[in-house]
Chain A
């Protein structure tokens, strides 16, 4: 009886079950052709609902392991453990799967006879090393020689013996201080028989001191740090080494003691205190969670508020250029938003970014309102402040954006180096670096080439006076820096001299003018005298040139130049003030000619 029959009997609608049925039927009819003869007839007896006929199996189930390899053979193998450090004196034996195809071992699981037989054969060839030997690790404990101890590790509180004892314990217990302290039982060996009857006054042997764990640690770290520094000076240490070194050096036993005292007090709190503290902690956690949620919500709010201004003048967007502008601003804001959602920690202040400023400036009122509305606008501002230093002074907004992207993403990962570390790694910070590698001496050359040829000469002269080659032999960073300082000083000096020269010249001119004026007032013979002098001056000017050539120092050349100027000025007493500049120029050219010569001579 099928279910459909039941449905018929009960007058139930069979519509819903009718649909899936035909497919089922097809399936059964499809499988039917396999059967033949009586089998098919029997099958048909079932009608729609075929009878489950289990075909008779007239063979046994296949043996599961028929295809398997023969049973694995095990053998009792001897092995040593190289971690013992006794050259394989202890040979133990364990059961191992047999690897080579040797004589089959009969009844391998049954111990007795097997063990005996294997025992003799196992010891013949070299036993293998235990696979566990590699797990034997040992701590590195500092070693020192007698000399090193005396030169570096002397301590009034600790004898060498006791230090040795401490280090041996540290090695034995793998630097587990709890154990070291637990087993620490140093018995100083008396130096002789007389120590036994020693008076208190003459007792040289100190009684074994009660060492606290902090004492032990302090001494060990002291020794370890010093020996580390002896083996490798601090500046050559790698970073982990240096960190370790610094940590050991900065071990403060007093602080440790206080910490332990504190821990002790914490442990001995009464039940009420503990409960109170627990509830307070819970409260703190709750408050923190709440602020976090609050921040999250506020951030979301900011993100929502961060849209381009709608209340600004629409006229600016009526032109195509204006529309383009709008599109761009929208895109930048969009980009920012995307970034913000990725980095929620950063997105608290939308007004911080430079690219945003275009937007934020269009609706300052709106922005101000929204910020003022939230009581914690401080937070946002602080955030933006915290972020600005990360981006170095940015010349253009685009580079600023790029910078910000980098700064924002990488800054948190980059570790702040300490002064010491900067020195160790030779890290220096630059405002801006030119693209590509440059030579340091090129930097110096650049400084030269920026100056006029005359000044270059003067500077070269000044440097040669200081016995410095114009081009550095070994331009290391430090040398270059020093050279730059020196160079700056020389340039300043040269400039100052130039100014002082000019002032001197002006003074002279003014004096000459005064003299002229005096002469115009009536003293003629003086004027004549002047004329005579003038002629002399001209000669002197030429003579000066020759004289200059004789002088070898720049300083003296300068002196000569002054003389030359004097002469020139005297040469044209009648010239007005406006002419003085020309005179100056001339004097400068004269000087340069002179110094050119001197330079040539120097080259020779």
Chain B
């Protein structure tokens, strides 16, 4: 018990095999893009992958603070629903914004231009835009913005070779990084959980994916994914609001000027703002998504099991459980009882999902979480399946729904009754949200990892194709 603390002369980094080279970890996702220094606990910069596009001046503005109602303003996303980069030009810009302007990666530029002298962001909204633009202009002038820092990027397990090559090109050509590495998110999530052989269930914003990781490498045959994620859950919520009596209107927060408290179930008494310019549907959708996110965070719950929600008696039981009240930004509020279970049930049971208006909202049995896991395990060698089931790592923000892990455990034990199932889900919210980034942070600061980096020299000798050869 009385173990003397390590004296300060002993470098704990040596003890834990760490060797920090101030690498940068960049983890782009559909909802958020995360960036930070390797070796840190949390990403320093988490900014939405959605960005604002001002149609009148053809400019892009990045970051939360730049997204507010204004004229000729559209919300776009540089990623697509497959969590792959769609718009590489914007991706480069947004990453530069995140790494150089926001993260303040030290640059070997003269002091007059280096990050120290960057003006801090003014609090007032109006000025932000200007600062952003100024920053962007400056960025283009940087000769080698990240000459000092190796960059570790993440990619989904199903990333295309073309996208991978593009990533290293940007890193090497635009930013002149000394070294680069591309790692798959499930692998990093496994590292974040401290394990090398795991079955990663990543319930993210745009996607839910199941991937087997064996000894720190993705088993390609096992990669399964479906759109059943946070965005899909929002669409389920919209269906729920459509079908509920009376209909629930989602009014984004920016539209409400003032509101009065009303009784539960009563129509809202709020005065809405009027704008002298057109609010684009994309902006409104983005803002509505924010409201739905809040709803998901505070109301929606996964039916814990045992058995499905639709099974005999479960629904009645759920009706008797204490409900939760949610107040919309416009003041209307309502008690949500069994609906809050039903919304998330579609992730587990395709029959329980709300009928979706769009084609992509409909899911099949194979797209549910149990279906994905089953398909993933069926695709790999039987010898590793028990090891994987004993190490199920759950990550992704949508997995933070209450009861998610319990349900998962019930489903898995029902599916594989003779195998020991153990679920590892980080307790901390942030660790679940940034699982892949944290894994990248661990990997990038490992002393033994530095032999893996694709160096600049290697890139120059072999071209962008080297990323396929090295990052397996």
Give A residues with C-beta under 8 Å from B: 72, 81, 83-84, 86, 89-95, 97, 111-112, 115-116, 119, 130-133, 135-136, 172-173, 176-179, 181-183, 213, 260, 263-264, 266-267, 269-271, 273-275, 277
Residues of A contacting B448 with CB < 8 Å? 132, 135-136
In the complex, which of the residues A86, A90, A173, A266 contacts B418, with contact meaning CB atoms closer than 8 Å? A266
Tell me whether B220 and A182 are in contact (CB under 8 A). Answer: yes
Cβ of B142 under 8 Å from chain A = no
Given the interface pairs A86-B457, A92-B150, A178-B384, the reply to whether A132 lies near B20 with Cβ below 8 Å is: no
Tell me whether B217 and A89 are in contact (CB under 8 A). Answer: no
Given the interface pairs A90-B453, A132-B447, the reply to whether A173 lies near B217 with Cβ below 8 Å is: yes
Cβ of B45 under 8 Å from chain A = no
Q: Mark B415-431, 1 if CB is under 8 A from A, else 0.
A: 01111000000000000
Tell me whether A176 and B21 are in contact (CB under 8 A). Answer: no
Given the interface pairs A81-B450, A270-B417, the reply to whether A132 lies near B19 with Cβ below 8 Å is: yes
Cβ of B451 under 8 Å from chain A = yes
With A116-B106, A260-B382 known, 14 other A-B pairs at CB within 8 A are A83-B451, A89-B455, A90-B456, A90-B457, A92-B179, A92-B453, A94-B19, A116-B108, A131-B19, A172-B472, A181-B381, A182-B221, A264-B382, A266-B418
> Closest chain A residue to B449 by CB distance?
A132
Given the interface pairs A86-B458, A112-B116, A178-B380, the reply to whether A132 lies near B450 with Cβ below 8 Å is: yes
Q: Among B9-17, B124-132, B251-259, which stretch is in contact with chain A?
A: B9-17
In the complex, which of the residues A90, A178, A270, A274 contacts B219, with contact meaning CB atoms closer than 8 Å? A178
Most interface-central of A86, A112, A172, A182 (chain B CB within 10 A): A182
Most interface-central of A93, A172, A260 (chain B CB within 10 A): A93
Cβ of B331 under 8 Å from chain A = no
Residues of B contacting A183 with CB < 8 Å? 220, 472
Tell me whether B385 and A267 are in contact (CB under 8 A). Answer: yes
Cβ of B336 under 8 Å from chain A = no
Residues of B contacting A111 with CB < 8 Å? 106
Tell me the chain B residues, 148-187 only, with Cβ under 8 Å from chain A. Answer: 148, 150, 178-179
CA distance A274 to B457 in the complex (A): 57
Cβ of B122 under 8 Å from chain A = no
Tell me whether B455 and A84 are in contact (CB under 8 A). Answer: yes
Tell me whether B214 and A86 are in contact (CB under 8 A). Answer: no
Given the interface pairs A112-B106, A112-B116, the reply to whether A182 lies near B11 with Cβ below 8 Å is: no
Q: Mark B396-424, 1 if CB is under 8 A from A, else 0.
A: 00000000000000000010111100000
Question: What's the minimum C-beta distance from A220 to chain B, rounded to whole angstroms?
Answer: 15
18 contacts between A and B (CB under 8 A): A81-B450, A89-B458, A90-B453, A90-B455, A92-B21, A93-B21, A94-B19, A97-B11, A112-B106, A115-B106, A133-B451, A173-B217, A176-B215, A178-B380, A178-B383, A179-B217, A267-B382, A271-B414
Tell me whether A277 and B418 are in contact (CB under 8 A). Answer: yes
The 4 A-B pairs of least Cβ separation, nearest first, read A90-B455, A132-B447, A274-B418, A89-B457
> Closest chain A residue to B8 by CB distance?
A72
In the complex, which of the residues B108, B115, B386, B447 contacts A131, with contact meaning CB atoms closer than 8 Å? B447
> Closest chain A residue to B111 by CB distance?
A113
Cβ of B92 under 8 Å from chain A = no
How big is the B interface, by class?
35 or more
Cβ of B114 under 8 Å from chain A = yes
> Closest chain B residue to A272 by CB distance?
B417
Give the secondary structure class of B's interface: loop
Residues of A contacting B215 with CB < 8 Å? 176, 178-179
CA distance A271 to B116 in the complex (A): 64
CA distance A601 to B227 in the complex (A): 109
Tell me whether A72 and B114 are in contact (CB under 8 A). Answer: no
In the complex, which of the residues B8, B17, B455, B457 contacts A132, with contact meaning CB atoms closer than 8 Å? B17
Tell me whether A267 and B455 are in contact (CB under 8 A). Answer: no
In the complex, which of the residues B19, B386, B456 contacts A130, with contact meaning CB atoms closer than 8 Å? B19
Tell me whether B451 and A84 are in contact (CB under 8 A). Answer: yes
Question: What's the minimum C-beta distance from B277 to chain A, rounded to whole angstroms?
Answer: 42
> Closest chain B residue to A274 by CB distance?
B418
Question: What's the minimum C-beta distance from A272 to chain B, rounded to whole angstroms?
Answer: 9
Given the interface pairs A89-B457, A277-B418, the reply to whether A178 lies near B20 with Cβ below 8 Å is: no
Residues of A contacting B472 with CB < 8 Å? 172, 183
CA distance A269 to B360 in the complex (A): 35
Tell me whether A178 and B214 are in contact (CB under 8 A). Answer: yes
CA distance A178 to B179 in the complex (A): 29
Tell me whether A119 and B380 are in contact (CB under 8 A). Answer: no
Tell me the chain B residues, 426-472 only, with Cβ under 8 Å from chain A. Answer: 447-448, 450-451, 453, 455-458, 472
Most interface-central of A92, A95, A133, A135 (chain B CB within 10 A): A92
> Closest chain A residue to B197 by CB distance?
A178
Residues of A contacting B220 with CB < 8 Å? 182-183
Tell me whether B447 and A92 are in contact (CB under 8 A). Answer: no
Tell me whether A269 and B417 are in contact (CB under 8 A). Answer: yes
Residues of A contacting B419 with CB < 8 Å? 267
Residues of A contacting B382 with CB < 8 Å? 260, 263-264, 267
Question: What's the minimum C-beta distance from B188 to chain A, rounded to whole angstroms?
Answer: 17
Given the interface pairs A86-B455, A133-B451, the reply to whether A182 lies near B416 with Cβ below 8 Å is: no
CA distance A270 to B413 in the complex (A): 11
Tell me whether A90 and B178 are in contact (CB under 8 A). Answer: yes
Residues of B contacting A273 with CB < 8 Å? 418
CA distance A111 to B108 in the complex (A): 12
> Closest chain B residue to A270 by CB distance?
B417
Question: What's the minimum C-beta distance from A86 to chain B, rounded to whole angstroms?
Answer: 6
> Closest chain A residue to B179 by CB distance?
A90
> Closest chain B residue to A132 by CB distance?
B447
In the complex, which of the residues B150, B222, B381, B456 contacts A213, with contact meaning CB atoms closer than 8 Å? B381
Residues of B contacting A172 with CB < 8 Å? 472
Tell me whether B148 and A115 are in contact (CB under 8 A). Answer: yes
> Closest chain B residue to A185 by CB distance?
B220
Question: What's the minimum C-beta distance from A471 to chain B, rounded to whole angstroms?
Answer: 63
Question: What's the minimum C-beta distance from B129 to chain A, rounded to whole angstroms?
Answer: 27
Tell me the chain B residues, 206-226 only, with Cβ under 8 Å from chain A. Answer: 214-215, 217, 219-222
Question: What's the minimum C-beta distance from B306 to chain A, rounded to whole angstroms?
Answer: 12
CA distance A260 to B380 in the complex (A): 12
Question: What's the minimum C-beta distance from A78 to chain B, rounded to whole angstroms?
Answer: 10
Given the interface pairs A84-B455, A91-B178, A178-B384, the reply to whether A267 lies near B217 with Cβ below 8 Å is: no
